[in-house]
Amino acid sequence: MKKITSIFLVAILYGCGSSVSPVDQGLIDQVMHIGNGSEPQGLDPHIVTGVPEHHLLITMCEGLTTSNPKGGANLPGMAESWEISEDGRIYIFNIRKDAKWSNGDDFVADDIVWSWMRVLTPSLGSQYPDMLYYVEGAEDFNTGVITDFTKVGVKAIDDKTLEVKLNNPTPFFLGLLSHYSTWPVHKETVLKFGEIDDRQGLWTRPGNFVCNGPMNLKSWELNKKIIVEKNPLYWDADKVKLNQMHFYPVSDINTEERMFRAGQLHLTSTVPSQKCGVWREEGNPNLRIDPYMGTYYYRANVNVKPLDNVKVRKALTYAIDREKLTEKVTQCGQIPAYSFTPPGAAGYNPNTEIPYDPELARQLLAEAGYEKTEDFPVLQILYNTSEDHRKIALTIQQMWQQNLGISVELENMDWKVYLSRQNSMDYQISRAGWIGDYEDPNTFLDIMRTGRGNNRTGWSNQEFDELVGKANATADQEERYRLLGEAEKILIDELPIIPIYTYVRSYQLSPDVKGYSPNYLDHHHPKTLYLERD
Amino acid sequence: MLNVLIRRVLIAIPVLLVVASLTFFFIRLAPGGPFDADKVVSPQVMKNLNAAYNLDAPLYRQYFDYMSGVIVGDFGPSFRYPGRSVSEMIYTGLPITFELAFYALMIAVALGIFSGVLAALKRNTFLDYFPMAIAMLGICVPTFLMGPILVLVFGINLELLPVSGWDTLSGDKLLPSITLGFAYAAYIARLSRGGMLEVLGQDFIRTARAKGLSELSIVTRHAMQGGLLPVVSFMGPAIAGLLGGSFVVETIFQIPGLGRFYVEAAFNRDYTMILGTTIFFSAMIIFFNLLSDLAVLLLNPRARENL
């Protein structure tokens, strides 16, 4: 028995020792291995929400435009060109003559019309219909005010020409089209497996799945791996160098890090935050830190005392040393935030300032009627379970206690409880993060308008609402940014939100991967990627 | 014997019903719903979603609809993964969790019984102290520490075995099976040592020795039958623990088993998935406990007398 066991062990160990790691093998086969966070909810672009889903869908489907891998204005996708009317409200898209679905069917303008009808069909329960609310009649159709889709401003003029009418000139409309919720799905395939509004249809399974992107779905093993392979019918297939991409749903960050070290992954979804500082010091050559269009901030519930007083909110905001926090606590290259919209994205630079001035903060608190800090009620910071959120909350607790002399308590809640309390406004201060859906300041400022579901602070300011509304009805980009900048100033003067830092995307990338450029939205088109060892 | 079997199966049905009903109502008490997300959707969209999953019906109606589905083996659609039914997900993850539990059990039994029996025979010598010290270590060191240590040594430093995966790279099943099996091997070693010591001191063993039987035959044919009874009784809970407790090992080693679905379902408020996996794991625990009780009855005549 012992003999058999030892032979067995030796055989296994020998077999493994001599095998080539997936990263080395990938170089030969042009197969890229990617850590993709969690198991995707699904692959139906009209139903799913989330980053892992986006990483997969960008390989398999394509909208009218695609995001620029180097950042900036969108590039042509299914539409090879477009014309915009003078008033900025009518778009004519010219669909590529050679655009095809992965099953060989011709891609026509009507595919977009049907797909948008699907996203906006109320009974589908899409979570992103508002991405199309800029189109005439779209919101009315989605909320059931009208039931006739021909009244919605999207129409196929002929097979290869699409006309879209907007409510207002929306300069970021082309940017919206690179978000998966606006992407087309193959009508015949969807209908073969269910109705237009079927959430449970099996059309996204391997073998059934038909889309129009550079890769096509090969296999999908639940919680294990999704493989996509090159789609030879893609209009730009000549440029696609990768043969396959393997996506692993590695939810444990430490497991992902070990997989990378053992040569099982080319790219990780993130890095363990406790290692980031050390790696930066040691100069880990695989560590990459890229700018990202997201802001980490605290919401203040302006409906409750003492946070209804703007002076109190200012005092709290000015008492946070953001530079110290990003340097000593988060340690991964995060940028101290002095505005809500991350600066630099889409060429927009908010001209706002937030001083770190404990003395001014104490003075503001005194002006608000809290000369004696013992009169100040105990403040609670709500955050969801995470070591990183806890560390930040602890630091801010300490800064507020030291600089303002007030008492602060921390409330740690499970993710869904945290969401539920935030939605019902049952909090004082609450941790928050916002990631842009498209590269435009509107994706940030719009959520702070009165009554927006994601505002969740109770704050309302008519002037702010008007400025953002006016900016979105303005076709002139310079004027638009000026108006949005004004709005941003009001926001930072009123401070219903306390900006803390601008996110960065930190991850590990094998030096074999070429053509992977950083961009604010973290969109990486497989067309630009290939594997080569220096 | 048959009576016991029928009685236990009949008890199992109301037990499962109570488990399912309690779970159904308890998860509804937890704050937050399956469609709560960081990005709030409009009330209209939330209404559409609730309607799509029958969540707009009164709670008692939902309960009866769900239960009538369960009776015919339909656990409903997953709320988190559109297009996937809970039955399908259990069916996908279960064989993997079973396989992992089986290998772990084999390792636990082989290692545990071997070192336990050896320790009992060589009492108060190095061969007793050493395996028992290791066993104590196995009981004390949790799997979430044992797993990464094994990975670090065998996967990263020695580059002998893959650090993660299941059925992807050759040898990737070894480390997770050892990690999961080791803790149970430790328990089994201590149980079999204790059981063996008790039996080895009894008169019938002395008689067997006096009759001149070889030591091997005394140990394997006479002592082990009684000495390993505690191990057999431990098997039921052990298998249940291996199946239900595989979550940590599945996460560390990136194994697509059922344990990960189970825990993630709770965080996601995936109501049907929580219910489906809870009912399923309860049924498994009841089944394996019954199996181990029956095995004890078969092995131990005294237990049969008390029927």
Which residue in chain B is spatially nearest to A259 when comparing CA positions? Answer: B163
Q: pLDDT tens digits for chain B (307 residues)?
A: 788 788 888 888 899 999 999 999 999 888 888 888 887 777 877 887 888 888 888 999 999 999 998 888 889 899 888 888 999 999 888 899 999 999 999 999 999 999 998 898 888 888 888 888 888 888 888 888 999 999 999 988 888 888 888 888 888 899 999 999 988 998 899 999 999 988 888 888 888 888 888 888 888 888 888 888 888 888 888 888 888 778 889 989 989 988 888 888 888 899 999 999 999 888 888 888 888 888 888 877 777 776 5
Mean of the pLDDT values across residues A460-470?
94
Inter-chain residue contact A202 with B159, CB threshold 8 Å: no
What's the rounded Cα separation, in Å, for the pair A431 and A525?
32
Q: Which chain A residues are within 8 Å of B265, Cβ to Cβ?
A: none
Instruction: Write out pLDDT tens, residues A283-335.
Output: 999 999 998 999 999 999 999 989 999 999 999 999 999 999 999 999 999 99
Q: Which chain B residues are within 8 Å of A258, Cβ to Cβ?
A: 148, 151-152, 155-156, 163-164
Strand partners, A297: A432, A499
Is the separation of the CB atoms in A277 and A507 below 8 Å? no
Comparison of pLDDT for A8 and A28, the residue scoring more: A28
Inter-chain residue contact B162 with A251, CB threshold 8 Å: no
Q: Which chain B residues are within 8 Å of A122, Cβ to Cβ?
A: 44, 48
Instruction: Write out pLDDT tens, residues A401-415.
Output: 999 999 999 999 999
Q: Which chain B residues are within 8 Å of A248, Cβ to Cβ?
A: 254
Cβ neighbours around A284 below 10 Å, total? 14
Question: In this predicted structure, what is the pLDDT of residue B73?
Answer: 83
Strand partners, A484: none
> B157: buried, middle or exposed (CB in 10 Å: 19+, 13-18, 0-12)?
exposed
Min Cα–Cα distance to chain A from B82, Å: 6
Best residue in B50, B94, B254, B268 for a mutation probing chain A (most A CBs within 10 Å): B254
A238 three-state secondary structure: helix
pTM of the model: 0.89
CB-based contacts of A366, cutoff 8 Å, min separation 6: none
Lowest model confidence (mean pLDDT) among A28-42, A242-256, B107-121, B234-248: B234-248
Q: Which two tokens stand for residue A40?
A: 């995707």
The H or E element that residue A364 is part of is: helix A358-367
What's the rounded Cα separation, in Å, for the pair A364 and B140?
54
Q: Which two tokens stand for residue A195?
A: 């109705």
The pLDDT of residue A388 is above 60: yes
Q: Supply the mean pLDDT for chain A.
A: 91
Q: Which chain B residues are within 8 Å of A423, Cβ to Cβ?
A: 36, 40
Helix residue spans in A151-286 (DSSP H)? 173-176, 187-192, 253-261, 273-282
Q: Between B49, B92, B171, which is nearest A16 by CB?
A: B171
Question: In this predicted structure, what is the pLDDT of residue A18?
Answer: 46
Lowest model confidence (mean pLDDT) among A17-21, A513-517, B144-148: A17-21
Alpha-carbon torsion A84, A90, A91, A94, what sign?
negative
Inter-chain residue contact B254 with A252, CB threshold 8 Å: yes
B123 three-state secondary structure: coil
Q: Which two tokens stand for residue A155?
A: 């129409």
Min Cα–Cα distance to chain A from B302, Å: 34
Which residue in chain B is spatially nearest to A38 when comparing CA positions? Answer: B264
The pLDDT of residue A13 is above 70: no
Q: What angle do CA A295, A300, A304 make, to 5 degrees?
A: 170
Min Cα–Cα distance to chain A from B90, Å: 11
Query: How crowded is the C-beta side of A275, counted as CA atoms within 13 Å?
Result: 16
Mean of the pLDDT values across residues A522-527?
90
Mean of the pLDDT values across residues A481-495?
95
What's the rounded Cα separation, in Å, for the pair B4 and B7?
5
Best residue in B53, B164, B258 for a mutation probing chain A (most A CBs within 10 Å): B164
Min Cα–Cα distance to chain A from B282, Å: 23
- Orientation angle between helical segments A387-404 and A310-318, nearest 10 degrees: 110
Q: Which chain B residues are within 8 Å of A12, Cβ to Cβ?
A: 161, 170-171, 174
Question: In this predicted structure, what is the pLDDT of residue A275?
Answer: 92
What's the rounded Cα separation, in Å, for the pair A513 and A60?
20
Inter-chain residue contact B81 with A42, CB threshold 8 Å: yes
Lowest model confidence (mean pLDDT) among A65-69, A80-84, A324-328: A65-69
Min Cα–Cα distance to chain B from A447, Å: 10
Residue B226 main-chain phi, psi, to 5 deg: -85, -35
Question: In this predicted structure, what is the pLDDT of residue B38?
Answer: 81
Min Cα–Cα distance to chain A from B155, Å: 7
Inter-chain residue contact B163 with A264, CB threshold 8 Å: yes
Q: Which chain A residues are within 8 Å of B254, Cβ to Cβ?
A: 224, 248, 250, 252, 255, 259
The H or E element that residue B109 is part of is: helix B86-121
What's the rounded Cα separation, in Å, for the pair A19 and A15?
6
Q: Between A49, A199, A201, which is nearest B37 by CB?
A: A49
Inter-chain residue contact A252 with B84, CB threshold 8 Å: no
Question: In this predicted structure, what is the pLDDT of residue B274?
Answer: 92
Q: Which two tokens stand for residue B28?
A: 């509804």
The H or E element that residue A216 is part of is: strand A215-221
Strand partners, A430: A299, A382
The pLDDT of residue A8 is above 50: no
Question: In this predicted structure, what is the pLDDT of residue A266?
Answer: 96
Is the separation of the CB atoms in B39 and A454 below 8 Å? yes
Mean of the pLDDT values across residues A120-130?
88
Best residue in B28, B29, B35, B41 for a mutation probing chain A (most A CBs within 10 Å): B41
Inter-chain residue contact A13 with B160, CB threshold 8 Å: yes
Is the separation of the CB atoms in B281 and B288 below 8 Å? no
Mean of the pLDDT values across residues A243-252?
94
Three-class SS of A321-361: CHHHHHHHHHCCCCEECCCCCCCCHHHCCCCCCCCCCHHHH
Which residue in chain B is spatially nearest to A257 when comparing CA positions? Answer: B163
Question: In this predicted structure, what is the pLDDT of residue A457?
Answer: 93
User: DSSP letters along A147-172, please?
Assistant: --GGGSSEEEEETTEEEEEBSS--TT
Question: In this predicted structure, what is the pLDDT of residue B236?
Answer: 81
Inter-chain residue contact B49 with A127, CB threshold 8 Å: yes
What's the rounded Cα separation, in Å, for the pair A44 and A203?
8
Residue A166 main-chain phi, psi, to 5 deg: -105, 160
What's the rounded Cα separation, in Å, for the pair A347 and B292?
69
Question: In this predicted structure, what is the pLDDT of residue B156?
Answer: 87
User: DSSP letters along B41-83, please?
Assistant: PPHHHHHHHHHHTTTTS-HHHHHHHHHHHHHTT---B-SSSTT
What's the rounded Cα separation, in Å, for the pair B181 and B163?
17
The pLDDT of residue A154 is above 90: yes
DSSP state letter for A371: S
Question: In this predicted structure, what is the pLDDT of residue A7?
Answer: 47
The pLDDT of residue A11 is above 70: no
Q: Which of B167, B171, B166 is nearest to B252 (CA)?
A: B166
Report the complex ipTM.
0.85
Is the separation of the CB atoms in B273 and B80 below 8 Å? yes
Beta strands in A249-405, from DSSP E residues, in sequence order: 287-300, 335-336, 379-384
Cβ neighbours around A351 below 10 Å, total? 13
Q: Which two tokens stand for residue B118?
A: 């050896």
Residue A239 main-chain phi, psi, to 5 deg: -85, -15
β pairing state of A215-221 and A225-230: antiparallel
How far is residue A125 from each of residues A92, A366, A453, B53, B59, measured CA to CA in Å?
A: 29, 49, 16, 10, 21
Min Cα–Cα distance to chain B from A9, Å: 10
Min Cα–Cα distance to chain A from B12, Å: 31
pLDDT band at A10 (very low <50, low <70, confident <90, very high): very low
The pLDDT of residue A15 is above 60: no
The pLDDT of residue A17 is above 80: no
The pLDDT of residue A130 is above 90: no
Inter-chain residue contact B51 with A456, CB threshold 8 Å: no
pLDDT band at A358 (very low <50, low <70, confident <90, very high): very high
| Radius of gyration of chain A measured on its C-alpha atoms | 25
